[in-house]
Amino acid sequence: MNIALIYGGTSCERDVSVITGIQAMGMLDKFKYRVYPVLICEDGSMLMPKNAGEIRTYIGEKVVGTPVHFEGSELVFRKGIRHERAHIDCALLCAHGGTGENGALQGFLEICRIPYTSPGVEASAICMNKITSKNVFLGWGANILPAAKVERGGEEEALVYACDLGFPVIVKPARQGSSIGIDVAKDEEELKSALQVAFEFDDCAVIERALENFTEINCACVKSRGEIIVSSLERPVCWKEFLTFEDKYLSNGKGKMSASAREFPAKIPAEREEYIRRTSYDIYKEMGMKGVVRFDYLIDNERGEVFLNEANTIPGSLASYLFTDKGIDGNRLMDIMIEEAVSEGVGKAAKFSSDVLEVYGAGSANACKIAARHI
């Protein structure tokens, strides 16, 4: 089976995506799949890097490789003096953020008729936007923190929102991930500063009531043979107000995904665990998702309330570490995602035929004849 492993991209999460791509290459069974690593470069072009599985390949100004492009379900690349073609049976998506995760790449693959291992266009677009997703989650009964949308230029109304919510508030770019551009504001001056940072990454920001004494919990779902598997829960451990980009990927100088300390499985009361697992399952099902989706929750330790924070449709490391206690290692998780994607295929549009073109063509011809008589 030919697999196009698509990673990199044009978003701020490009480097994290490269790491996920390399990890996925190592988890794919080389005897079962022929893997074509497709790196989306910062200018939007695509190439198959030389020594794609080595991190040093991506350090520096330019990645060396063979330019590639898709023609329908075929990947086209040059080999020597000839162009080679490989029919792609499935695309394994590892491109975090931006057009890799917001439905754009998914839509492109549907046009190419290539099955892919992530939620579809609609679910991807919804989950990438923190305001839209909150409204959708709320509509399905999930508990979410009060929040407001602020567009660039709306700093004055942002202060009104923040006062209504009550300081401190957390400010986030609406369509960004990996904790990039996020900050906590305790007063008006800090709010202005946080908005400036957020607007560096997006034209729209989210202001949300910040919890001061909370526990963060992660839970993932994946579909296998039509059945939804819900992972055990993880509790990232951090003393700060929220997990930063550095906490997630650079802590302790380890230089690896999920480098921060964690408790797994998380030790929380049974009723809260049940709520998180049930909510994750319901939203995954209702949104018609596939692939691995990680849901992030916040527990207010003072009130005991659980809030769904966001859903990551292409999570770091593909959240493979959340399924290990269920006997699903990284190798098996790749199989599950690919099998499900190929099984579902790409949706087929209903066929419909009419005489519109013939009638329109005949009408246009008659109109031309009438016009000619008056010349």
| pTM given for the model | 0.88
Mean pLDDT lowest for which of 180-194, 278-292, 299-313?
Answer: 180-194
pLDDT at 260: 58
pLDDT at 366: 67
32 pLDDT more than 60: yes
Mean pLDDT of the residues in the chain = 89
Tell me the Cα Rg of the chain.
24
Tokens linked to 222: 């994946």
pLDDT at 352: 74
Query: With b meaning 16 or more CB within 10 Å and e meaning fewer, what string describes 139-159?
Result: eeebebbebbbbeeebeeebb
pLDDT at 249: 47
Question: Of 329, 316, 274, whose CA–CA distance to 297 is shortest?
Answer: 274
pLDDT at 349: 59
- pLDDT tens-digit profile of 50-88? 999 999 999 988 999 999 999 999 999 987 778 899 999
- pLDDT tens-digit profile of 182-227? 999 999 899 999 999 988 888 899 999 999 999 999 999 999 999 9
pLDDT at 261: 82
* % of the chain at pLDDT higher than 90: 70
Mean pLDDT lowest for which of 90-94, 239-243, 253-257?
Answer: 253-257
User: Distance of CA 333 to CAs 28, 38, 330, Å?
Assistant: 9, 20, 5
Query: Distance between CA atoms of 13 and 8, rounded to whole angstroms?
Result: 8
CA–chain centroid gap for 102, Å, is: 7
**Structural domains of the chain, with CATH:** 2-116 (3.40.50.20), 126-143+212-344 (3.30.470.20), 147-209 (3.30.1490.20)
Give the confidence band of 178 by pLDDT, cuts at 50, 70, 90. Answer: low
Cis amide leading into 168 (omega within 30): yes
pLDDT at 202: 85
pLDDT at 256: 44
